Amino acid sequence: MSVNVRIPTILRTYTDGSAEVSAEGGDLREVIANLDEQFPGIAARVIDEAGQLRRFVNVYVDDDDVRFLDGLGTPTKDGASVSIIPAVAGG
Amino acid sequence: MGSAHSLKCRECSARYPLDASYACVECFGPLEVCYDRVPITRDSIESGPSSMWRYEALLPVAPGAGHRPGLQPGLTPLVRADNLAAALGARAVWVKDDSGNPTHSFKDRVVAVALENARRLGFTTIACASTGNLANAVAAAAARAGLESVVFVPSNLEAGKIVTTSVYGGTLVAINGTYDDVNRLCTEVAAGRDWGFVNVNLRPYYAEGSKTVGFEIAEQLGWRLPDAVVSPVASGSLLTKVDKAFREFTELGLVQGHATRMFGAQATGCSPVAQAFRAGQDVVRPVKPDTIAKSLAIGNPADGPYALDVVRRTGGAIADVSDAEVIEGIGLLARTEGIFAETAGGVVVATYRKLLAEGLIDPAEEVVLLNTGDGLKTLDAVQPTHGPTFTISPSFDDFEDAYRQVES
């Protein structure tokens, strides 16, 4: 299943400056693993040593914060849109 | 840039130059301003401007900020609230009344520091995601400084806060969504625009402005620290920066070391940090806000984990109160002290009352309550419960009859 991933500015060094890339995977964990195959090292920027999403990263699948869904286990349907966004804004 | 020399990640300590960046490239952690230690004395502060710029040596700004175009916020009243204390059976209560700022909230402070950095970095447009008070502050500061402004707010804000932003000119974008939706959109917009988003790419500088609330409390108490502070918690930034201010003043020898306990106040309808505190967790699970305290309605608070750290380290707590208690809190402060707080101030007063009742604050402790905004901006919250005592015809007899009933 192919999904569209929006890459934040601070990770675009991995994607040759691309703001949007395609990735494969049936859930978020698989999508991030596939991103890492395409852009080695990118997964470690998003996921910590314990295998969890870093606490200052927000990830959205089709506009829903995955922490309201199943976290890394959130399903990603074909054509879904995944956004990775720094969490430290606002307030 | 004054005594500031770099940005540092709060999570992994990676260092960055003082540019428009806010998240660590290594770990997404928030960046914080680092300073060289500067010589500063009570005298040098007291002889400074009658505004927050008296503390400019401790902020990321070039010297002379008070002479550049801006709203010159700060040095708001610290009101000794004996009537409120008596009503609550407490010994010594003060209200730091930041409704006295130019656009009537503490947000003028953070915007003032962000504006200095926007100018330094060459931005000609300043922008923000806001729950209302920040919107006012950004639009007004941009007007004074001759910059463009683009302000993003949730479309369901109080009418007062829409009007009091729009009136300053600039572009006001209402979003059909929550503050967290607005914030997310702004993070995406900020990445592609050459704008100074005060609470996105200028956030490390912006957040430092909140320290001046703490500096002023210490100076206005006569160069000492209170036993406890009750702060509203939205993103959690204000609470952590007031604590930081107290620690900086202590390290500089400007006040005697005194462990001020920091307490956080949230509305139950948006209380992710209070919930994490009660559950003993150090991560904050986001919530979808539903409260009249719209200025605190941040469901995914950026500084929530740090606010938890601070209250635990200082022996404080974070509690929450219902919307009905918020309205009672607004009324109590207004009736006892003549201070009309916005809903966030009602949250603080009601939470203080609850913390006293639960024994988490001792009535003998000297407490400072933060009122961060003006009740005139959130009239919708109190309109249903406040109105004329009676309405009569312009007749002397009608008045005498009606007033007798009120007296009895």
Spell out the residues 6+ positions from residue B172 whose beta carbon is closer than 8 angstroms to its own. Answer: B135, B139, B151, B153, B162, B165, B166
Residue A63's pLDDT band (boundaries 50, 70, 90)? confident
Cβ distance A87 to B300 less than 8 Å, yes or no, reads yes
Say if the Cβ atoms of B188 and A83 lie within 8 Å. yes
Sheet harboring A2-6: ordered strands across? A20-24, A2-6, A81-86, A57-61, A64-65
Share of chain A above pLDDT 90, in %: 86
| Nearest chain A CA: its distance from B25 CA (Å) | 5
Query: What pTM was estimated for this model as a whole?
Result: 0.95
Q: Under a CB-based contact definition with an 8 Å cutoff, are residues B131 and B183 in contact?
A: no
CA distance A88 to chain B (A): 5
CB contact under 8 A, A83 and B236: no
Per residue of chain B (408 residues), give pLDDT as tens. Answer: 889 999 999 999 999 999 999 999 989 999 999 999 888 999 999 999 999 999 999 999 999 999 999 999 999 999 999 999 999 999 999 999 999 999 999 999 999 999 999 999 999 999 999 999 999 999 999 999 999 999 999 999 988 999 999 999 999 999 999 999 999 999 999 988 999 999 999 999 999 999 999 999 999 999 999 999 999 999 999 999 999 999 999 999 999 978 999 999 999 999 999 999 999 998 899 999 999 999 999 999 999 999 999 999 999 999 999 999 999 999 999 999 999 999 999 999 999 999 999 999 999 999 999 999 999 999 999 999 999 999 999 999 999 999 999 988
- Closest C-alpha to A37, from A50, A47, A23: A23
How far is A85 from chain B, CA to nearest CA, in Å?
Answer: 7
Nearest CB to A55; choose among B26, B199, B283? B283
Q: Would you tell me which residues 177-206 of chain B have a C-beta closer than 8 angstroms to some C-beta of chain A?
A: 179-180, 183-184, 186-188, 190-191, 197, 199-200, 203
**Residues of B in Cβ contact (< 8 Å) with A85:** 184, 187-188
Q: Could you report the predicted ipTM of this complex, rounded to two decimals?
A: 0.90
What confidence tens digit (pLDDT) does each residue in A23-43 have? 999 999 999 999 999 999 999
Question: pLDDT tens across B195-206, in order?
Answer: 999 999 999 999
Among the partner residues A10, A54, A65, nearest to B300 by beta-carbon distance? A65
**Closest B-chain CA to A41:** B26
The two tokens of residue B102 are 């130019």
The per-residue DSSP string of B202-213 comes to THHHHHHTTHHH
Which pair of tokens denotes residue B27? 């770990």
Strand order across the B4-9 sheet: B15-16, B4-9, B31-35
